[in-house]
Amino acid sequence: MENIHLIGRSVITSELLDVSLSACMVTDTEVITGSGDYPWISPGFFDIQVNGYKGLDYSSDTLKGDHLSAVIEALGKAGTTRHLPTIITAPRERIVQNLKILASMLDENPDMEYAVPGFHIEGPYISEIDGPRGAHDATYIRDPDFEEFLTWQEASGGRIKIVTLAPERRGALDFIKKITAAGVTAAVGHSAAAPEVIKKAVKAGASLSTHLGNGSHAELPRLRNYLWEQLADDNLYASIISDGFHLPDAVIKTFYRTKGSDKLILTSDVSPAGGSAPGRYTWDKIKVDVHSDGHVGLAGTPYLAGAGHLLDRDIARFIKASSCSVPDAVKLCTVNPSRMLSLEERLGKNVVVFRYVEGDPSLNIEAVYEDGNDSFKF
């Protein structure tokens, strides 16, 4: 391996890669060396929205502590070394129960704290309208309740990093102010809000759009709608799912040109059925189909139900759709989510070695190294 590309704040030693390099620290997205079809080296990918994977479900009433370590390992093989377990709309008791289970696992295994720096709650404070509601169970959708949020934080050991909600729900704007003051990112998602409500949400402290373009109506007013409003607001980060199924290439390119390389975040939104063999599965009470191309949909419908792929595919698809560079694409799922959540201090702790070949559906992950040393992890 005589030529390599380096991306991000990764500490690379010659012993680690068996190449003639001295230890080096590089800037966010600067390419230090390498050209052509040589391996790239970057910080491990950071996914801020993971619902589960390969049959394991963070929102399930059958969740066990060791499910967390199993998901960490499965994601790591695809280059994702950090993620936020995401709990979706569910009964009050189950959200608290599952947060306690996950928090207990982290308390007992502090070495896992880097891989799981926090949790994401998506719902239950979202729109109940078909389209914006997505695959969430309408039975458990409710208005924001700050006292319930405090119960979540206590159960999680203070680890909640993001709450996705619809700002048009009763009490949502006050809720956004309170959780933002508590250091938690308020995200707009699964919303049918009028444009003026989006503006009020941002003023209240909302700073992220969750999977922008998805969890929305099939048809919108041509010019005045919540999509344009979020896209145009420079105060909002936008996470997107660039797997080739959730957003057309033209939309991805437009989002990238509008938000730029500093305010866009790639997320997988992978569902518990993701990574499974083609067939029909149950996600809580919902029947979903895993198709032959890996994408996940509501059973017997053309509608999506979360995602079936991870960031190794999303990065490759994003490069194709946007025509951006490899470093710029990787920045969207390393530097940007870390910066948004104030988790930059150990960005290069884990290192991913991969190849990108134009036209391939996914990156080819060659190795993942732990803690910037020669400990091969996956």
DSSP string for 339-361: HHTT-GGGTTSSEEEEE--TT-S
- Tokens 């569902």 belong to residue: 271
pLDDT mean over 159-184 = 98
Provide, rounded to the nearest whole percent, the portion of the chain with pLDDT above 90.
79
pLDDT mean over 345-350 = 83
φ/ψ of residue 345, rounded to 5: -65, -25
φ/ψ of residue 231, rounded to 5: -65, -35
Would you state the pLDDT for residue 300? 86
pLDDT mean over 13-37 = 37
Q: What is the pTM of this model?
A: 0.91
Give me the CATH code for the 45-343 domain, please. Answer: 3.20.20.140
pLDDT band at 225 (very low <50, low <70, confident <90, very high): very high
* Cα-based distances in Å from 191 to 63, 165, 227: 28, 7, 10
pLDDT mean over 172-181 = 98
Cα 203 to chain center, whole Å? 24
Element (H, E) at 86: strand 80-88
Contact 67, 56 (CB under 8 A): yes
Would you state the pLDDT for residue 23? 28
Provide, rounded to the nearest whole percent, the portion of the chain with pLDDT above 70.
88
Would you state the pLDDT for residue 37? 59
Cα–Cα dist 42/31, whole Å: 10
> 56: buried, middle or exposed (CB in 10 Å: 19+, 13-18, 0-12)?
buried
User: Does residue 310 have a pLDDT over 60?
Assistant: yes
If one counts every other C-beta atom within 10 angstroms of the C-beta of residue 139, the result is: 12
Higher pLDDT, 253 or 306: 253
pLDDT band at 306 (very low <50, low <70, confident <90, very high): confident
The helix/strand/coil state of 378 is: coil
pLDDT mean over 141-167 = 98
User: Does residue 89 have a pLDDT over 60?
Assistant: yes
If one counts every other C-beta atom within 10 angstroms of the C-beta of residue 252, the result is: 24
Q: What is the mean pLDDT of the chain?
A: 89
Q: Which residues partner with 82 through β-bridges?
A: 46
